[in-house]
Structure 1
Amino acid sequence: MADKKYTPMQFGHLKGLKGISDAVLEVHFKLYEGYVNRTNKLTETLAGLAAKGEAAGTNPAYAEMTRRLGFEYNGMVLHEYYFGNLKPGGSGGTAPANLKKAMEESFGSFETWLADFRAIATMPGIGWAVTFQDPRTGWLSNHWITLHETNNIAGYMPIIVLDAWEHAFVPDYKANERAKYVDAYFSNIDYDAAEARLKK
């Protein structure tokens, strides 16, 4: 694994989002690239320790870097989902047929899903709001992810991902104006990209 490197994905096509400035996006892209670089560095360092026979739970450096790896990896991956479900102008006010059907089957209606997701996205704290799909049942559920790695549901597919850290919307909005940012997010959401993640 040490010789394998992740390359930051490019999201330049997101310039011109409504309510999320290009300046905020540029800072956000750089932050994302940092997660990619640290994921690569940690992976390389841990593989080096393993090759030297120093991979041990009793090795404090190995143990702490291994714990940190989940934070960096998920920081990279969640940002890719987040940027991947945005596009200038969005794809309209409601989800396409298959995604809307999954929302209705799981929440009763698209509107109930949306209200639940917005409630989670505007909770105090740093983290992420994510709609996951259970791969066994196809059911959707909304979750809060603390930091990047706490509360991720093992094996579930992220369908809709919103970055709720302040860096995603400050200085476009004040730190206490996350609801306005959530509105901007939904004006740019690419429901088609989200639907493409659904397991049929």
Structure 2
Amino acid sequence: MAYELKSFEDLLGTEGFSNQLLRNHFTLYHGYVNNTNKLSDVLSTMVREGMAGTPQYAELKRRFGWEWNGMRLHEYYFGNMIKGGRAIDKNSDLYKKIVKDFGSYENWEKDFKAIGMMRGIGWAMLYYDTAAGRLLNVWINEHDVGHLSGASPILIMDVFEHAFMIDYGVKKADYIESFFKAIDWKIDITMARNKLPLIFAER
């Protein structure tokens, strides 16, 4: 079954993000969805035709993870955002967990923003390690390198140049501030997030 494009047109008009920037970014996301579907079809055909052991199959199989993560990470990223933003509830389990694991919300924010300011292309992500019951801020290089096995993504910030350069040039810090003003702290874009209060309550 093919992956379907998700619409994030409701983000148009978000303060700090021009419509040109967002539309270009949506187009990039569409490319990841299309390529994921194309690769899935090609790989299935290769298996049926007895080509699963070939170098061509191996390279396309490796590429699939890159395209798929490019698709899914963009869905998480856009899903993190809402026009006008939505402040984090200081009585929420997530806020309390951030304070517990980082010492304060302010400490967490400084750490997350510092990751976003690191040189290079990639993603800044807040993960929940379900095995240890810990929140971790992590740098993801490209789309498929640096993910924590078994951890659930909570908040995702795109720090590839395409996410900000049309509006901000090389002023990445200004982009990060605009992203924070647009965060939807309801945090409900993945199924894992719906389980977070239960997970936190158990620990």
Does TM-score exceed 0.5, indicating one fold? yes
Match of 2:201 in 1: none
Give CA-to-partner distance per residue, 1:66-114, whole Å, 9 cap, x none: 1111110100010010000100010127766221111112111111110
Q: 1:195 to 1:171 in 2, by over 3 A?
A: closer
Aligned residues: 194
The corresponding residue for 1:182 is 176
**Would the alpha carbon gap of residues 95 and 50 (structure 1) be closer, same or farther in structure 2, given more than 3 Å must change?**
farther
Verify: 1:42 aligned to 2:36, yes or no: no
DSSP 3-state at the match of 1:171: helix
In the superposition, relative to structure 1, how do residues 19 and 95 fare at CA in structure 2: closer, same or farther (>3 Å)?
A: farther
Q: Call closer, same or farther: CA 1:194–1:107 in 2, change over 3 Å.
A: farther
Q: Hey, which of these two has a bigger chunk of helix by percent? A: 2
For structure 2, list consecutive stretches of 5 or more residues without a partner in the other structure.
199-203
Q: 1:186 to 1:94 in 2, by over 3 A?
A: farther
Larger mean Cα displacement after TM superposition, 76-85 or 128-137: 128-137
Paired residues of 1:35 and 1:75 also in contact (CA < 8 A): yes
The letter for the 1-side match of 2:84 is G
Query: Identical aligned pairs, as a percentage?
Result: 43
RMSD: 1.6
Q: 1:21 aligns with which of 9, 18, 22?
A: 18
CA distance in 1, matches of 2:89, 2:97: 13
Q: TM-score, normalised by structure 2?
A: 0.91
CA displacement 1:165-198 (0-9 Å, x = unmatched)? 0101121001x21110000000100011259715
**Under a length normalisation based on structure 1, what TM-score does the superposition of the two structures give?**
0.92
1:168 and 2:177 equivalent?
no
2:8 maps to which residue? Answer: 11
Query: 1:66/1:195 Cα in 2 relative to 1: closer, same or farther (>3 Å)?
Result: closer
